Structure 1
Amino acid sequence: MNERRRPTPPPSSAAGRRRRGGRARRRRGGRPRLLWPGLTAGAVLVFAGGLALNGGTESTDSAGASSAPEPGGTQAARQDAPTPEPEKEEKEEKEDGGKKDTDADSGKGAGEKPDPDSIPSSGPGTFATADGGGDRVGGSARTLTYVVQVEDGIGIPARDVATEVERILADERGWTADGKVGFRRVSGGSSDFRVRLATAGTVDDICGRYGLDTGGEVNCNVGQDVMVNLKRWLLATQYYADDVTSYRALIINHEVGHFLGHGHEGCPGAGRPAPVMMQQIKGLHGCRTNVWPYDADGRPITGPAVG
């Protein structure tokens, strides 16, 4: 796999806050490294198209809202590259504990899946920010504020995405289970990080500013941005094909985990739940699917460090 390298700061003001990155493949012509969490042939949350978003949102350019210092003190450039799995291996993994996480409390899918060819591959690079704000959830040691943004024109209301992200970050099996970190969604002013759903082209552009090659397929965490590829948001991956909503929890927990300073982990053993920081898109390796960093009893679900 690729070695970790210090990503090249982007021209924006976010350059001073880069965090340590994870594994990734090098982008042709660039020096920075990539991190590829659990994704198949798709990118992160990205929106495109020509439809207007509804309900109390504000538009920003791709530079987005003002930023605040990240928890780790440096910025991270993280991305998960999809690696095609042999058909035989995929079948074995599904039979060996590769069942979907029926205890995910994240619903059964997200409605009928769209035709992959109907998902826009690029957009204007401007975003609508979900209005309002959420209640504080989690521990009292530190509270991280965040905004939820959706690329303009893709026909998905930013408020709907914000509701889903809030639910994921508030889950008792999420990152707040450590009793220390807390989250609160805001709609303006400075924020610690941004969750941004965008089209593959916009994800490639923003992640590429940090030297990451998302290849139109995957998500990434760069600086204060948790970039979600629209294709992955709508279609999930082969292991979550029947439970897209649960896969969305994996996207958010994995990329926010990188923002919190967590690196990639491997499968701890056959039949055990896959850590949320495992690159599940690249294969389960005998583990069973899981989208939460902690179990229902508050115990962390971890595996051996990778890279």
Structure 2
Amino acid sequence: MNEHRSTPSPSLDAARRRRRGSRSRRRRSGRRPLLWAGAAAGVVLLVVGGLAVEQRSKTADTADTAEAAGAAGAAATASKEPSPRPSASASSSASSSASSSASSSASAGASPEAIPSSGPGTFATARGGGDPVGGSGRTLTYVVQVEDGIGMSPGDVATEVERILADDRGWTADGKVGFRRVSGGASDFRVRLATAETVDDICGQYGLDTGGEVNCNVGQDVMVNLKRWLLATQYYADDVTSYRALIINHEVGHFLGHGHEGCPGAGRPAPVMMQQIKGLHGCRTNVWPYDADGRPITGPAVG
């Protein structure tokens, strides 16, 4: 059979080309808005993503800063028998900032308002014990106790009392008396650091009026007023540590049988048994019963 091939007319052919061109233009123009929309969406995503990253960065920085500030703040914020006769030593109400010993950091910058005036009346005893110190005569045993809840370490107070009683210028210089700190069992006397009200109560049982200001020795108790321990008196305002030695030596002196003494003369050291807080009367301050050469520092007896 004969092969027949159909040929489109020129007009139809032109119409088809026009239709194809129109469709092609529509397709190209349709792609352009899509491309612009895609690009815009990409920009939005980049901006939003950047803002999110920046916000996360700021949050992390703030958290780090707060943590660092908290650590710095923490670092900046970062111490429960007999005596010859009862006796009391007067004391003044003058005060000063106390220097803190290694034993009582709570005393640093102490002021009268910050020192508790009363406590529960119960005591904690310092643990452990010390080596005997002193002469060849009788060795007196003692315990150190601190009233509960007053912010003082019994062990640290005991260390300071031991140091005082072991000093070569102390009561052991007579070559007879000796001391040894214990923490249990019977003892010859007790050194007790307590609030003013508790000192008043215990000393008052023996008829002594300590008036919230005074140390005393009654029975087997050497009672130390917390206020005096931390603030001393006007004569020792710049040397609280020395005044603590005067408290212990004066009251233990009473326990040993020594009475009050007066000033032996102008310019001479005040006897440790002198009530120095009532006035020096021309004498120089002194907190030891013996001098560096082992000679007793005494004065006329005071009734």
TM-score, normalising length from structure 2? Answer: 0.69
Q: CA RMSD in A?
A: 2.0
In 2, distance between residues paired with 1:277 and 1:180?
19
Correspondence for 1:154 among 134, 150, 154: 150
Alignment of 1:204-223 (within 5 A): 204-223=200-219
Is the contact made by 1:84 and 1:282 (CA closer than 8 Å) also made in structure 2? no
Q: Which has the higher helix share?
A: 2
Q: How many residues align?
A: 217
Does 2:93 correspond to 1:77? no
Greater RCO structure (CA 8 Å; 6+ sep):
1
Match of 1:137 in 2: 133
The structure number with the bigger radius of gyration is 2
Is the contact made by 2:229 and 2:240 (CA closer than 8 Å) also made in structure 1? yes
The gaps in structure 2 that reach 5 residues or longer are 1-78, 95-100
Is the contact made by 2:272 and 2:297 (CA closer than 8 Å) also made in structure 1? yes
**SS of equivalent residue, structure 1 residue 123:** coil
Q: One-letter code of the match for 2:196?
A: A
Correspondence for 2:190 among 191, 194, 200: 194
**SS of equivalent residue, structure 1 residue 159:** helix
Match of 2:265 in 1: 269
Is the contact made by 1:221 and 1:259 (CA closer than 8 Å) also made in structure 2? yes
**Aligned-pair distance for 1:80?**
1.5
- Between the aligned residues of both structures, percent identity stands at 83
In 1, distance between residues paired with 2:126 and 2:239?
25
**Aligned-pair distance for 1:155?**
1.1
Is the contact made by 2:111 and 2:231 (CA closer than 8 Å) also made in structure 1? no
In 2, distance between residues paired with 1:254 and 1:219?
10
Deviations 1:193-213 (A, max 9, x none): 000000000000000011111
The gaps in structure 1 that reach 5 residues or longer are 1-53, 60-68, 86-105
Match of 1:247 in 2: 243
Deviations 1:19-48 (A, max 9, x none): xxxxxxxxxxxxxxxxxxxxxxxxxxxxxx
Alignment of 1:93-132 (within 5 A): 112-132=108-128
Deviations 1:42-63 (A, max 9, x none): xxxxxxxxxxxx9xxxx3xxxx
Q: One-letter code of the match for 2:86?
A: A
In 2, distance between residues paired with 1:75 and 1:226?
13
In 2, distance between residues paired with 1:84 and 1:200?
12
Is the contact made by 2:216 and 2:224 (CA closer than 8 Å) also made in structure 1? yes
